[in-house]
Structure 1
Amino acid sequence: IRLYGLVFMISMAFTNYDRQHSVGFSWTGFQAFGNVLSGDLAGTFFPVLGWTLIWAVAATATTFFFGVLLALLIESKGIKHKNLWRTIFVIVYAVPQFVSLLMMAQFLDYQGPLNTLLMNWGWISHPIHFIDNQASPLVARITVIVVNMWIGIPVSMLTSTAIIQNLPQDQIEAARIDGASPVQIFNHITFPQILFVMSPALIQQFIGNINNFNVIYLLTGGAPMNNNYNGAGSTDLLVTWLYNLTFGQEQRYNASAVLGILIFIISATFSLIAYRHTNAYKEG
């Protein structure tokens, strides 16, 4: 069944199958690819592709970096109740993602609790549009990255904690005896070993962020809408734009199939190139 669905989707990209041709559609070769790459959808495809890559890099880097810092902070000497702090952050991860995202969408609403608190504290004079259609594209994009940090940091923290607890303490003690500072120990011992272990997971996380449908769809729905785009908003990723083309008013199934193929090519190419350059692959 899965193979049939895959063949059907790929075949659809070479037809004129859309709302007007749902019955009696015909083969059109690479015409749908031309529409996406150089035709009427190109003005949407390339900007959305650029934002998708920026989002994937930012979402992966922020959750990894701050997850490592949080793990180091909790594992530092002198920090009491370490299990309690870990549990607090794990609770965020334990809550289903769609529940967290829907709650954050309400929290960030124009008339939501965040704007109310900021106004009551006198920090702002009027509510801020964070994620609705009147929001600035830059503000909305920064907002989704920050919210993704709230969801993703606990995962990186748990993985980093396990690695930190198994680091060779003799190397760290030898470095301290030689006069190395905590920053030097982190740069030359701790971080390289964390990166060595987590490189394959980071690649997987990057690909997952390229296809991270939930964060965008449940938080902003692609908003704010962009009049220069065809069926997409300023925060839409390729995967959410694919959804809009499929279930929106135009129902351009052939273009959606093309996007699915292109997303696979981009993801597979990056995965192969990135993984072959990791130390885990070279020493495997």
Structure 2
Amino acid sequence: MGHKRVKAAVLSLVVLGLGQIFNRQYVKGIILLLIDILGITFFSNTLAHAIWGIYTLGEAPSQMVLVDGITKNVPGDHSIFLLIEGIIVLILFLIFVSIYIYGVRDAYQVGKACDQGELTPGVKLFKYKTDKFPYVLLILPAIGVLFITVMPVIFMILVSFTNYFAPEHIPPANLVSWTGFQTYIDLVQLKMWSSTFFGVLSWTVIWAIIATTTCYFGGLLVALLIQQKGIRFKSAWRTIFILPYAIPQIISLLVMRNLFNGQFGPINQYLAFFGLDKIPWLTDPLWAKVTVIVVNMWVGIPVSLILILGILTSIHRDLYEAAEVDGASAYQKFRVITLPMVMFATAPVLIMQFAGNINNFNVIYLMTNGDPKVGDYRFAGATDLLVTWLYKLTLDNSQFNIASAVGIVIFIMVASLSIWSFRKTASFREEDIIQ
């Protein structure tokens, strides 16, 4: 008893796949053996170089050298390429180690089943535990998430600990080096960065709260009005209010930008026609913030409207009839029946809208481009959010290390607030109701 499981585990530990072949799982054993051969061959040539690349970020930059009277470019190390390649190799190595651990564990478990008489020689043991089949199907999307989502996040985190910024440390002419937490220290202590960071951060939080609440409760109000008794042509009203959502957002926002143009916009033209002063909708910091909030309501309320309309139609009429029998007023029915049921169903979506507004790039960039300018802000304007400031830092000014630090701040804000808020919602705590 117990000899088969030990032999299978030891064989897989020595050479991946041998334990499965010993257990007569020939298909699985051959697949794991091929993975073992490919892995050892690949990592023997790349793993050491990947670790060296991440540790040093290169030693020799590209140089222009005069050879026989001709200036030639001598390629050197590219710090960013070395960092990216190193991350990819290390991720692949972790996947390989995970497969190796799985192979040893699987060989032991199948051997244990054979020792206990649950499986007998001659059966097709590679079909053992078919309940694991869903995990096989999840492998491909999991790998996609790993390389498309996780790897860029890791890269961004690592870049924030370097001096990767223009023009002194841009490869391949110059190398990048590790600077530890200096970027984060500069972001909160160095005045030319800290004033911008805290100013943009505070506006981002204010914007996210106001934009979320106005769109959500605006959509709730419109939905309640449409669903009122006696309102005719409900389908027509729904269609009218959903149209702003159906039109591509870029078109709506560019039209709004022209409407609110301070000099030639139709809104200010009408104000001037009636003898009123023109309003600096997009050129005054306060008015620009008010304008983007109003425009965001125009494009955001239909989203909440569609969601809440569906929930309102699903609330059983018996609840309202029972409340009317008890003498409840319209406000009491709304407070006790409508609002709790709507909030219960939409709380996770509300949290997602809040997180989305923190990263609401389109409205800010297309309406104001982050402007108007603020004197002591560095590469940012009065309406810039962290995400639009990050865009300007990278695409316009090549301040990649500061941008990476800002990206980490955005990630921490969105992830922590979303997870904490979602866990506090009734729909999360009462998840077992729908299971």
TM-score for the superposition, normalised by structure 1: 0.95
Deviations 1:221-271 (A, max 9, x none): 11111112111111100001111111234x211000111111101111101
> Which whole-Å deviations, capped at 9, do the CAs of 1:176-207 have from their partners, x for residues lacking one?
11111111111111011101100000000000
1:12 and 2:174 are equivalent in the alignment? no
Could you tell me how far apart the structure 2 residues matched to 1:37 and 1:90 are? 43
Pick from 176, 182, 186 the counterpart of residue 25 of structure 1.
176
Q: Secondary structure at the match of 1:192?
A: helix
| Alignment match of 1:95 (pick from 239, 247, 254) | 247
Q: Provide the identity percentage.
A: 47
Question: In the alignment, does 2:372 pair up with 1:219?
Answer: no
Measure, in 2, the Cα distance between the counterparts of 1:148 and 1:78: 30
* Match of residue 107 from structure 1: 259
Choose which of 352, 361, 365 in structure 2 pairs with 1:204: 352
SS at match of 2:261: coil
Looking at structure 1, the residues matched to 232 and 272 of structure 2 have their Cα atoms a distance apart, in angstroms, of 35
For the pair 1:43 / 2:195, whether they are aligned, the reply is: yes
Aligned to 1:258: 405
Distance 1:220 1:212 in 2: 13
- The aligned amino acid for 2:195 is G
CA–CA distance in structure 1, aligned partners of residues 385 and 194 of structure 2? 14
Q: Could you tell me how far apart the structure 2 residues matched to 1:263 and 1:214 are?
A: 16
Q: Distance in 2 between matches of 1:276 and 1:115?
A: 47
What's the secondary structure of 2:328's corresponding residue? Answer: coil
Whole-Å Cα distance in 1 between the matches of residues 237 and 187 of structure 2?
Answer: 48
Matched, 1:273 2:420: yes
Deviation at 1:209, TM superposition (A): 0.2
- Closer, same or farther in 2 for the Cα pair 1:234/1:10, shift >3 Å? same
**Partner of 2:64 in structure 1?**
none
When Rg is computed on C-alpha atoms for both structures, the one with the higher figure is 2
Which runs of no fewer than 5 residues in structure 1 stay unpaired?
none
Q: Distance in 2 between the 1:154 and 1:117 partners?
A: 27
> TM-score, normalised to structure 2's length?
0.62
How many angstroms apart in 2 are the aligned matches of 1:280 and 1:156? 18
| Greater RCO structure (CA 8 Å; 6+ sep) | 1
Separation in 2 of the partners of 1:244 and 1:175?
Answer: 55
Task: Say whether residues 1:67 and 2:215 are aligned partners.
Answer: no
Distance 2:363 2:206 in 1: 15
Alpha-carbon RMSD: 1.2
Q: Tell me the CA shift for residue 7 of structure 1.
A: 3.1
